[in-house]
Amino acid sequence: MAANTGTYLIQGAAILGGEPADLLIRDGIIAEIGSGLSPVGQDGGATVIDATGLVALPGMVDVHTHLREPGREDAETVETGTRAAALGGYTAVHAMANSTPVADTAGVVEQVYTLGRAAGWVDVRPVGAVTVGLAGEQLAELGAMADSRARVRMFSDDGICVHDPVLMRRALEYVKAFDGVVAQHAQEPRLTAGAQMNEGDVSAVLGLTGWPAVAEESIIARDVLLAQHVGSRLHVCHVSTAGSVEIIRWAKERGIDVTAEVTPHHLLLTDDLVRSYDPVFKVNPPLRTDADVQALRAGLADGTIDVVGTDHAPHPSEHKECEWAQAAMGMTGLETALSVVQHAMIDTGLMTWADFARVTSTAAAKIGRLSDQGRPIEAGEPANLILVDPAARWTVDPFQMATMGRNSPFKGRELPGKVVATFFKGHPTVLDGALNTPHPEAAATPAGAA
């Protein structure tokens, strides 16, 4: 745990939306929680932060982020992506493996890990590829990545489904050796050849090749049965259909060790938006129907879906300023996730802020096996926490974001909730809703170090 990150007294924050309390943060730790705490302690004055009307939450943990580095630094870098993460209320992100080169060796995951340390905005936890080059043919050196300094615990070929059932079985079994988890991008490839959008009423009219719900659901059904058979831990990325929620609910009732994630955009947006043919709404898995949105919300509220994962996927503008079929799939999400989840889940009465902490932090840290993230807000715990103004309203402007990606599907929408401050290991990376400075440890980490 870092030392010398200063002393901060947060006054009157509603912890998990409860009664207001003061929090004293000192040297990376929540030193004290109480009422009427004095800013003048034994080691001198604390910086006082008036948190009246703000909610204190554990720092958010994203299980699904595309930072694009190495390889597509024109889309995003670890530096810009983690700035966006801090602004969005995150203190840890899992960087997906589909970089160039693919994060399928200890060398690449250590590079990403080191870049994250050097940036100093959040914990960057690299995700290792399941198969060499995401090719779906041969297991990558999962053990070497687990044993590396990046201590990889989550493995995923995200973007591509591990569709070979034997390979999936072996991966599920193998990662048991180091308490790993396979995060599956559930997409039956033959059923989705050339797929452009959700298959249904809208695709029929628009003449865009459909991505049927069954292509996701059939893989999830297979994988939960495989996980049960070999007694492994399975994580399902970006669940998007009502049927998937039902299958996961069924699996959990049977005691299968499966966790699932939903993106903010699948909690709010539907395939009706594709009628514009604006590729900002092109994403994989695709936007579904309102019935799916409602089922995903219910599943997140009742715990069937464990976590919110952004699937933050920045793209250069030329990959979106084109025909729908030519456009890249993906949306940015780090800087809008909190607001969208508040809008879809809290302002609708489906969840409390305590539930929010569970699905954006506690459960996510548990899936990724991050020991010092997603912790309770209690004295003696690491000071990874955020202050949120739930009464704030703001209009999304992609050009005002820290991410390099301008592909936000929420552009122009007014959303509730704003991250006022982010404390990462006791250091405020965000203050007054704006970037502050990276964690002081970052200065001690040379970016090029391996």
User: Annotated catalytic sites, by residue?
Assistant: 311
Residue 449 near another protein by CB under 8 A: no
Nearest Cα residue to 425 out of 33, 165, 134, 123: 123
Taking CB under 8 A as the rule, does residue 210 contact another protein? yes
Examine residue 388 and tell whether it contacts another protein (CB under 8 A).
no
CB of 320 to another protein, least distance (A): 10
- Backbone torsions φ then ψ of 134, nearest 5 degrees: 60, 25
CA–chain centroid gap for 63, Å, is 4
Rule CB under 8 A: choose which of 1, 135, 177, 204 binds another protein. Answer: 204
Nearer to another protein, 321 or 381 (CB): 321
Of 276, 294, 348, 395, the one binding another protein (CB under 8 A) is 276
Task: Collect all residues with Cβ–Cβ distance below 8 Å to 303 and sequence separation of at least 6.
Answer: none
One residue of 137, 147, 164, 201 binding another protein per CB under 8 A: 201
Distance, in Å, from the CA atom of 41 to the CA atom of 249, rounded to the nearest integer, reads 50
Quote the CA–CA distance of 114 and 182 in Å, as a whole number: 23
Binding of residue 412 to another protein (CB under 8 A): no
Report the C-alpha gap between 322 and 319 in whole angstroms: 7
Q: Within 320-359, which residues bind another protein (CB under 8 A)?
A: 321-326
Shortest CB 276 distance to another protein, Å: 7
Q: Return the closest-CA partner of residue 138 out of 160, 103, 167.
A: 167
Examine residue 253 and tell whether it contacts another protein (CB under 8 A): no
441 binds another protein (CB under 8 A): no
Q: Helix 242-253 to helix 290-301 angle, to the nearest 10 degrees?
A: 30
| Residue count, binding to another protein (CB under 8 A) | 24
Q: State the maximum Cα–Cα separation within the chain, in Å, rounded to a whole number.
A: 70
State CA 137 to chain mean position distance: 27
Q: Does 71 bind another protein (CB under 8 A)?
A: no
**Cα(266)–Cα(212) distance, rounded to whole angstroms?**
15
Q: Which stretch binds another protein (CB under 8 A): 10-18, 195-203, 301-309, 340-348?
A: 195-203
CB atoms within 10 A of CB 160: 17
| Binding residues for another protein restricted to 302-321, rule: CB under 8 A | 318, 321
Which part of the chain contacts another protein (CB under 8 A), choosing from 107-115, 250-258, 270-278, 427-435?
A: 270-278
Site for another protein in 278-297 (CB under 8 A): 278
Residues that bind another protein (CB under 8 A): 196, 199-210, 212, 276-278, 318, 321-326
